[in-house]
Structures are given as C-alpha cells and as structure tokens.
A and B are shown apart, each in its own frame.
Chain A
Amino acid sequence: MRIVSFIICAAITVALIIVLNIQIPTGESKTPCLGAFLSPQNGFWQNAEAANTDFNADLKLAGLQGKAEVYFDERLVPHVYADNDHDAYFIQGYLHAKFRLWQMEFQTHAAAGRLSEILGAKSGSSDFLAIDKMFRRLGMVYGAEQSLKAMESNPVSKATADAYTAGVNSYINALPANKYPLEYKLLNYKPEPWNNLKTQLFLKYMSFDLAGGDWDFEMTNAKNIFSAADIEMLYPMVADSLDPIVPKGTAFPQAGVTVSKPSSADSLYYNVLDSIQAPFINRPDRDNGSNNWAVAGTKTKSGAPILCNDPHLGLNLPAIWYEMQISTPNFNAYGVTFPGSPSIIIGFNDSCAWGVTNASRDVKDYFEIEFRDTTMQEYKFNGQWQKSTFRKEVIKVKDGSEVVENIAMTVFGPVMYDRHYANKFKDNKSYAVRWQAHESTDEGSTFYKLNRAKNFNDFIGAISTFGCPGQNFLFASKRGTVAIRQQGRFVAKWRRQGDFVMPGIDSSYMWKAYIPIDENPTSVNPERGFVSSANQRPVDATYPYYMNGDFDLYRGMIINRKLNNMSAITPTDMQRLQTDNYNVFAETARPLLLKNIDDTRLTGEERDYLTKLRTWNLRNDINEEGPTIFAAWIDSLETAVWSDEFSQTQLPLRWPDEGTLVEALLRDSAFKFVDNIQTPAIETLPEICLQSFKLAYKQLKKLEGEQRLKWGKYKDTGVRHLLRLPALSKLHLPIGGGRHIINATKSTHGPGWRMIVHLTDKIEAYGIIPGGQSGNAGSKYYDDFIDTWAQGKYYTLLFLTHDEAKNNQQTKWKMTFSKA
C-alpha cells in the first residue's frame, strides 16, 4: 500500500515538475517555463531591480589594458573616462551588454533571419519564417559578411570592433543564468557570444530600415495600365513646391560621370508590359526619416552655431538609442549610440557636432534572370550560359526543424525570388536583387572619425567612405562652419533606371558607375545662414544626375520657411521648432478642399464638421479635431481619385504621394484622374470633393462616438516593446504631431532622439529619448524619459571633463574598470 502511495506521489511530483518545466501553448503563444520563471532565485523576480539600486562597482576584467572610470549621472547616462581608446570601446561593449543585451542580440537575430529560432515559425498573425526567408534571400547575411571583410581589412576599425566585442563577451561570460534579461526567460533561450559579424548585421538592419525600400515591382505593374505620360504625372521627378537641401539656384558643376541608357531601353524596358504578383512584403516604414538643421552664428543670439537633429524611427522599447559620453586622451564625445555597435553615432565633441537624416534614395534594384533550366545552375549573360554559385542558408526553427534556402548568386547579386521561394511570382520568373548594402564598405569608420573630428575637413574625410544607408550628414563647429552633405555611394543612373524591374540577360542594364563623392549634394555656409534636411529630394532638377527615391516634401518646406524667418535664435527657440505641430501640408491642401465643396449640399451635422475644419488653426495638437477631419477627408479624396484607375488590376501598385495629388489639383482642377472611369458620367473636382467629404463624415461620426475625434486620441501614439507585449510597452501617449509635420510623431513611429547642441565655448546641449537607459522592464530606468518626451521637454546633457564628473552633484554612481 505504502509503495503504491509512494509511486503515485512520486509520479505526481515528477509530472508537476515537468509541466512547470516546459512552455505550455496558450492559443497564439506559449507560456514561459513557469517553474523557472516564477522561482524567486532564478526567474523573472531576479530582473526586478530595486528602486534604490546601487550601480557603484569595482570591476577587474581580463582584456582591459589600463584603468577607466565610469560615472553615471542621475538619468543613468554613463560618462566613460578611459586611459586609452581600446578600453573605451571595451567598456562601451560591456555597458551595452549590461543594459541592453537582449535587444542587441534580438535585433541582430532579426537581421540574420533567425527569428524562427527563438520565436518559432509562426506566432499569432506573425509569420517569422517568412520574415527570416525574406531577410536571407535579400542577402542580409551576405551583405554583413562583405562589410565585415572591409571592416577587418582596416586595422583601426578591426581593433575598435575587437575591443567592443571583447567587452560585450566579458559581460556575457560572467553572467549567471538567473540574471539573463527578462526576455530570455519569457522565451526560454540563452544569449550567445557576440562577434564582429553581429555588429555588421546590426548596421545592415539599419540599411534595411533606411535604404531597403523599393517600388520596382509595383512600378513595373503600373506600366500595364498607365501610359508613359501618366507615369510621369503620377510619379513625378521633382515636386513643384520642393524646397531642396541644396538651396534652389545653386549651380552644379557638370557631371563628372555620364551614363547612357541601353539602346534597347525603349523596347525592352520603358514600354514592355509585364505583370508581377505580390512578393512577400515586409517594407520598412516609409516615414523612416528625420529632421536636421544647423543655424550659423549670424542667426543666433550668442553668435555661436546651433545644430539640431531628430532621427525618426520605429518607437520601440528598449529604445533603439543608448546615450553616453566617451572620453580618452584622443577624443571626448557625447551623444547616442546603437547597442550593438561601437562609437557615438549622433552627437558632438569638444570641437563640433554632427547629425544625420536619411537620404531616402533608391539603392535597390531587381534584374530578371533567365536560367537555363529549373536547376538554376546556369543563367544567360552576355550571350553565354554563366554558372551560378549557391549560398546555402539554413534557418533553424524553434521546434528543432530546419528550413534550407539555396540561393543562387549571380553577377547582379542573390536571386531573391525564384520558383523555390514560397512567395514566388505567379509567372515563375526569377529576379536577382542588387542592393547597395551588399557592397563591401566600412560604415563604422565614419563614426569613429566623426567622434574625433576637429574641423570641416575632418568631417568631410570622416564621411567620405560611408556607403549605405545614404545619409544627410550635418555639421557645425565652434569655429562657425555649418555644412551638410548627402553622403553615400549612389549609382549614376540614366533616366528611370531601376524604377522598374530591369532585364538581366546582359550587362547593359547593370549599375555602371558611382556619382563621384564630391558631386554629392553639398551646402557649406550658405548665404541664408542655415543648412537643413528633412528627407526631401536634396536638389532641384538642375542636378546633373538622375535621382529616384521616396522623399518627403513638407517637413523640409516648413523647416526652411521657419528658419528663414528667425533671427537671434536661442536653444529654447530650437526646442520649440523641433516639437512644432504646424501642418504645412494642410495649409496647402485645405484651401483646395474648401474652395471645391458646395456646403449647401451638406446636412447640418456635416456642415458642423466642415466648420471645425475651416476654423482649425492648422496645428496637429492633441486636443484639436481639425487634423482628424482633415486626415479623413484627404484619405477619402485620395481613394475617390485613384481607386477607379488603380483597381484595373489585382496586381500590387504604388499609390501616388499625397503631395502629388494636391499639386496636380492645384495646377489643374480638371486633372484627368478626377473622373471616375467606372461611371459613364464625367465627374468634376467639386463632385468628388463632396462625395469624399460625405464618406469621411461617416467615419468621423463613428470616431466621435468612440471619443476618438481629438487628434491625440485618433493618432494614439505608443512606444512598443520589440516583442509587441502591451504590458512591457508604454501606450496611449498624449503627444501631437504626425506625418509631414516637424514633430513627426505618428502612431508607432517618431523622433527617437531629439538633440540640440549650442556650439559655445563650453558646449550647451539638450536631448531626449522616448525610452530610458535601461533595457530591463523591471528597472525604473526602462521608460522614465517617455512622459517628458511626450511633453516636448528636454534634458540638459552633462558634457563633463573627468574632474567635473568626479565632483558633479548629478553624477550618482561610479564604476571603476581595471585589468584583472
């Protein structure tokens, strides 16, 4: 009897332990291993950081060469004072790992197409396997390997990366399992050692985010239903109201490089009809962009330049940026860093400040490959059968299975789409992708040099090797120079080259030459007293090279207008400008809408909304209803104008930009696309304005019922955890702004760092991140800046000498580092 009881109890105990030791599926996701997760000594409780945590430490680590002190200020920003550069980068790696380990590994796993390995093939509506395949086939790992070669062939870059990697691994190797970041415990996996390839993968992820977009398939499909003239109208090269980065009227030298279109372009390219089914699309956000500007001393109250930058990326937790100061005998820089990469990315040093915005140019093209047979061993190139090589990409899935992608490599690049790719095209054609991020360039060295730049020449030298993603590098120095250059490796293209999918049977459509770097759009100390960029087309039509991309029109316009009208500028004025909610797009479009609506044909309630729009102050502040009414009407109008023509095909197409529509209607109210081609009647602009307003009204009425008519509620900004767990996110923030607005805060996207640097003798700087310094959701430093950020406020950045750090009231903790 006893033995039976023993066996039963033992079985129950073991069963209980087993159940608590596995991940149990619950609908769309899985629980953590509950036993380990709940254990106070092993589980998530260990990540609950005491509110009064003492960050003081005395660390003796193998791999350091000398001594260093790190002072943490009250916001947990580290100020690193190291004896030598090696130790500075080692410590940067160590601190990134200490505060952001899970994030830095997760982002590089995503870039490497390894999400299925930790999240499973599918979870809810997310198909991680499809995302992994897409990244592998796009050649993300291939590109990272190419850049690794370039980086490791430069001894300085290699030493920097090696020191950084050693620092990350020094932290990981000493990390007990019970101290793993929370997300490892939630998902039940372990961190792996860091390496230099991971840093390159992270930079490729940024390339994907900022220079990974294209519309080549959609544009190719557009050729089926639109004439060449229509395409020029729908996708114009230069907008009427463009206010470019290089001021209009600036004379450009003649092109140093000329390329001519292939003789077959008319028959094989421009006029060929082709239809391409939707590929798997995981498109980076179109509004990944940024603002930056620098005003010269002539326009400031102090006489010293002021540089401002606010890069717009996905609003995520842990924050994409990590703030720090790094000081060695060779340089002293402050700014934001990318966990996963050495150096300060955006910031300032003792002599100058720098910032970036995205160039938004098209650096990704597709070529149709003609394989000899389905084995893809040979493809036609220049009249011969050329051998393909293959890249075997193995995707490990969490359940233990493996998915193998054999990717054919051609002279153009990896064959992203073919009959083996699950999202293959209906027509079974094969397309190779040529992407600037596949090139062997060492982007990290640019930031290494910027951190040490003393003057304009150093700045130009630092950025000259930067390849991808192309950026508008902004510069201002204490000596008074303000400058901007759009830098990247940009292909010299013939007109519309790469706008559509290109023939890949010979070399005639290939990328032939790069635009010489000194011909990249540049503006140095212009007469108007400031330089600026906001992802607009950088030059007007007189620039001697063809340029395609995905540009914003309006932010640049309002920034330049405001800066032109300002004088005796102070940093406070710049804070106000950076967080400004004025909607210049609505300023352009509203008169057009109001002029064309006949309000006698509206009901009383409809007219109330129209009045609200008419009396709106054009600001996208949280409590305004005007922006919601405007947005709903413009959306509805776009649908009314385009949907009839664009529904002629089931194939994916690209809708024209909002600005294109408004400019076309301003130019000509009889714009041909206004007519609904599905009705026999010829519609006029007033008719579709009325129709679209009535449709918008229905939506607005519903929003009002849900208490969501006010812009802040309608837009509903949130900063989301990378795993999209609401409990670890900060949602429903009261913040205005939006698309085409200087305060470019949308629902899930916006200014991830706002920085203002006043280049007085003793630098005065302000900044803020929508997040916190810690990546640990159990720390009070995880999201402590967000409310302040939403209010449009800033922190004063402490740019301290070593002696000042020792005695500063605001430095709260000290870590000493020395070699073991």
Chain B
Amino acid sequence: MKFIAALIVTALLSFAGSLFFPWWIIAVAAFIVSVFIHQKALLAFITGFLALFLLWGIQSFYIDYTNDHLLATKIANVLPLGGNYILLIFITALVGGLVGGMAALTGSFTRLSSNQSREIL
C-alpha cells in the first residue's frame, strides 16, 4: 500500500514540478517522497525508478504515438540509436527511472540517519 502511494505521489509530484522547474526537479520529487513515505532502501529505489520510468515512458510513448513516430525516429538517428524510436522511448524512461530511483534511494537513508542522531543525543 505504502509502495503504491509512494509511487503515485512521486509521479504526480514530478509531473507537477516539471511544469515549473527544470527537468531535474524529478530527483527532488522522488527524494522528498522517499523521506516522507519511508520504505526500505531497495523498495524505495524501485518506487522512485518505477514512478519516473512510467511517467517518462508513458508520456514519451503517447507523444510519439500522436506524432506518428516522426520526430523520435529522426532523433534516434541523431543520437545515434539506428532510428529505433522504441529504443529511444525506452532510454528516455530509463534515464528518468535511474534519476528517480537514485534520488529515492538517497531519501530512504535520511530517516535512519536522523534516528541515529537522536540515539546519540
């Protein structure tokens, strides 16, 4: 349940943040969610990864579909991915996922570190 909630909130926050901020706002979003909806490290990573993988993957898939694959095919030749638009969508999703996952993983370590500091006090 927590997993699903964290996933949805991360995706929503990333989407909303990207309307106003540069692309890396997704890292901030995944990090914040991971701090406030705490999960174990692996699960946090998967949440952040999947949230952004899906957010970026679904958006790029939809845009590509309405565009008849026109631009993605061209960009997949510029980059160079042999003109494979599906691969470009996958890479887009993967980049989003990695940033989201790493940021969430980082966030998952914050609560324990503050616990520790409390113990020390």
Contact = CB atoms under 8 A, between A and B. Distances in A.
Contact of A40 (B56, B105, B106): B56
A36 B26 CA distance: 11
Interface in B51-103: 55-56, 59-60, 63-64, 66-68, 70-72, 74-75, 77-79, 83, 91-92, 95-96, 98-99, 102-103
A369 B102 CA distance: 66
A808 interface: no
A49 B63 CA distance: 8
Contacts of A31: 79
A132 B103 CA distance: 44
* Most A CB within 10 A of own CB, among B68, B71, B74: B71
B66 A39 contact: no
Interface in A36-69: 36, 38-52
Contact of B70 (A10, A725, A778): A778
Nearest to A727: B77
B112 interface: yes
A382 interface: no
Given A3-B113, A35-B24, A38-B92, A44 B71 contact: yes
B60 A51 contact: no
Interface stretch (A12-20, A259-267, A424-432, A683-691): A12-20
Contact of B63 (A5, A35, A48, A780): A48
B106 A38 contact: no
Contacts of A22: none
A728 interface: yes
A43 B77 contact: no
B52 to A, nearest CB: 10
A9 interface: yes
Contact of A45 (B15, B63, B99): B63
B119 to A, nearest CB: 11
Interface in A678-734: 725-728
B78 A13 contact: no
Nearest to B100: A13
Given A39-B23, A45-B59, A51 B95 contact: no
Contacts of A726: 77
Contact of A778 (B19, B67, B106, B116): B67
A237 interface: no
Contacts of A21: 24
Interface residues of A, number: 41
A34 interface: yes
B67 A51 contact: yes
A2 interface: yes
A777 interface: yes
Contacts of A42: 18, 22-23
Given A12-B102, A40-B56, A45-B92, A17 B24 contact: yes
Interface in B105-119: 105-106, 109-110, 112-113, 116
Nearest to A46: B63
Contact of B64 (A5, A12, A17, A48): A48
B32 interface: no
Given A2-B109, A2-B112, A41 B99 contact: no
Contacts of A182: 71
A182 B19 CA distance: 18
B14 to A, nearest CB: 9
* Most A CB within 10 A of own CB, among B59, B96, B98, B103: B103
A13 B96 contact: no
B99 A20 contact: yes
A6 B110 contact: yes
B9 interface: no
Nearest to B83: A727
B2 to A, nearest CB: 20
A186 interface: yes
Nearest to A49: B67
B66 A6 contact: no
Contact of B60 (A13, A40, A50, A728): A40
A39 B96 contact: yes
B22 A36 contact: yes
Contacts of A35: 23-24, 95, 99
A16 B18 CA distance: 18
Nearest to A15: B102
A52 to B, nearest CB: 7
A38 B67 contact: no
B29 interface: no
Interface string A183-206: 000100000000000000000000
* Most B CB within 10 A of own CB, among A9, A47, A725: A9
B64 A3 contact: no
A182 B91 CA distance: 19
Contacts of B31: 13
B74 A39 contact: no
* Most B CB within 10 A of own CB, among A31, A47, A778, A780: A778
Nearest to B61: A40
Given A45-B60, A48-B64, A13 B112 contact: no
A742 B110 CA distance: 74
A48 B71 contact: yes
Nearest to A43: B23
A745 B26 CA distance: 50
Contacts of B27: 13, 17
Given A9-B109, A39-B23, A780 B70 contact: yes
Nearest to B91: A38
A48 B22 contact: no
Contacts of B24: 17, 20-21, 35
Interface string A91-125: 00000000000000000000000000000000000
Contacts of B60: 38, 40, 45
B98 A41 contact: no
Nearest to B44: A9
A51 B66 contact: yes
Contacts of B75: 44, 727
Nearest to A186: B78
Contact of B66 (A5, A9, A52): A52
A20 B71 CA distance: 21
A48 B79 CA distance: 16
Contacts of A50: 63, 66-67
Interface of A: 2-3, 5-6, 9-10, 12-13, 16-17, 20-21, 31, 34-36, 38-52, 182, 186, 725-728, 777-780
Given A45-B92, A50-B63, 7 more contacts: A2-B116, A13-B31, A13-B105, A38-B96, A45-B63, A45-B72, A727-B74
17 contacts: A2-B109, A6-B110, A16-B102, A20-B24, A31-B79, A35-B24, A36-B23, A38-B60, A38-B91, A39-B96, A40-B92, A43-B23, A48-B72, A50-B67, A727-B75, A728-B74, A778-B67
User: Which 9 pairs show the lowest CB-CB distances between chains A and B?
Assistant: A778-B71, A727-B77, A40-B59, A6-B109, A39-B23, A48-B67, A50-B66, A48-B71, A9-B106
